Structure 1
Amino acid sequence: MDLFYGQSHAVRGASIAISQGEVVAIMGQSGSGKSSLLYCLAGVLPVAGGEVRFEGLLLGALGDDRLSALRRDRFGFVFQHGELLPELTVEENAALPLRLAGQRKATALAAAGEVLGRLGLADLRERRPSQVSGGQNQRVAVARALVHRPTVVFADEPTGSLDSANAATVLEEFLALARAQGTAVVLVTHDHKVAARADSRYTMSDGVLAREQDVA
């Protein structure tokens, strides 16, 4: 697949296949194109060349409504800074994908509470994001990404804003829960320690993607 920003070639002929339940790490320096590739795979950015398929569906051929529904129901997202909604409680943030999919509030909150409990946040459900630590906020973001048991989670530097101790804990909990659910994870990172936890590793440089064993 290819992606351009104006005249800049952000992704150059990238080819990648992700299996059910697989954890894939994409490494690279800032500006290498790794986040752009992630958003192409998630159907957020349309590719200029090539194609992106999910379970046989050609993402570029889907209308906006079907693509939005796919991202809502089958995909999960974790961002570097969590991106929680400050006006909602921890529990309400975690339940958001279920509420957007039309689940009743009580059912959605119960499911969110279960996932939060598995991440050690059961006692913080009623707090706002501003009332918990950065590491706890990122656990809430992980809960939100996994609460609806998506097929794949796209994670863009999910531990990049945390200190090393919190980063290790959040990553451990994130991958353990994803693997328990059979959820695939596509993980963008510049941290070799984070990438080492993946099943498959790729490196991106100047928009070119290569598997780890192909990297000199």
Structure 2
Amino acid sequence: MSEVLYAKGVDLFYGKTPAVANAHISLFSGEVAAITGQSGSGKSSLLYCLAGVLPITRGDVYFEGCSLRSLDDEKLSTLRRERFGFVFQYGELLPELTIEENTALPLRLAGRRKGDALDAAGEILGRLGLADLRKRRPSQVSGGQSQRVAVARALVHKPAVVFADEPTGSLDSSNASAVLEEFLALARSQGSAVVLVTHDAQVAARADNRYTMSDGVLTAQMEEAS
């Protein structure tokens, strides 16, 4: 495995208030890292720092050895669009697009031909058991199905890293477990690393590495000796 993401001494301040304090994290291809913590602990802020969405105050984040702080806005946007994937708590599907069009969106934004992008979308939707829903719109599918579509969209372009912010937080326990299992299995099978923010200890237990966040401070959880 190769290291794809490395954060060193990351600080994020909102005014004089620290949201993230001296965070260090390393992530390898196909690896899942979970960050847990109370609401307001800074875990989502850290996630968006790692993804280059929030500008950090001090420290740096490296993707495949390249400093995100060295990239201008255009190059950073291209990186997020082509090499990163995102899954949000409520899916955030575009209501005017069909399920297959939503799924194909990252490929279309990267310049892929419409037919090729829709073929790739159909393939990954099939792997998630959603092939029959391709022509429906988000309002015509269930919450669990919608979140599976969000997973498909995040993974369709085979990103190096997927950033998932409470990806099962809006689902009941049965749907949450099924969606998480499919998400992580598919990500691992294609070598995509995952940074997973969650408040659910059972979700975090599925990760390879687990961290807790409290008052902006990130701490690695050590495995207990058996």
TM-score bracket, shorter-length normalisation: over 0.9
1:38-79: per-residue Cα shift (whole Å, max 9, x none)? Answer: 000000011101001101111011011110010011000000
Matches within 5 A, 1:3-42: 3-42=12-51
1:93 Cα offset (Å): 0.2
SS of corresponding position for 2:19: strand
TM-superposed deviation, 1:214? 9.0
* CA displacement 1:193-216 (0-9 Å, x = unmatched): 10000000000000000001299x
Provide the identity percentage: 75
Gaps of 5+ in 2: 1-9
Q: Where in structure 1 do 4 or more consecutive aligned residues deviate above 2 Å?
A: none
**Superposition map of 1:68-79 within 5 A:** 68-79=77-88
In structure 2, what residue type is equivalent to 1:65? Answer: E
Query: Which is richer in strand?
Result: 2
The secondary structure found in structure 2 opposite 1:204 is: strand
Normalised to the residue count of structure 1, the TM-score between the two structures is 0.98
The one-letter amino acid of 1:126's match is: K
Which of 175, 178, 181 matches 1:169? 178
Q: Structure 1 residues 214 and 5 mapped into 2: Cα distance closer, same or farther (>3 Å)?
A: farther
Q: For residues 28-177 of structure 1, what are the structure 2 equivalents within 5 Å? A: 28-177=37-186
Deviation, 1:8, is 1.1
| Corresponding letter in the other structure for 2:31 | E
Q: Which residue of 1 aligns with 2:201?
A: 192
The one-letter amino acid paired with 2:164 is: A
Give aligned pairs, total: 215
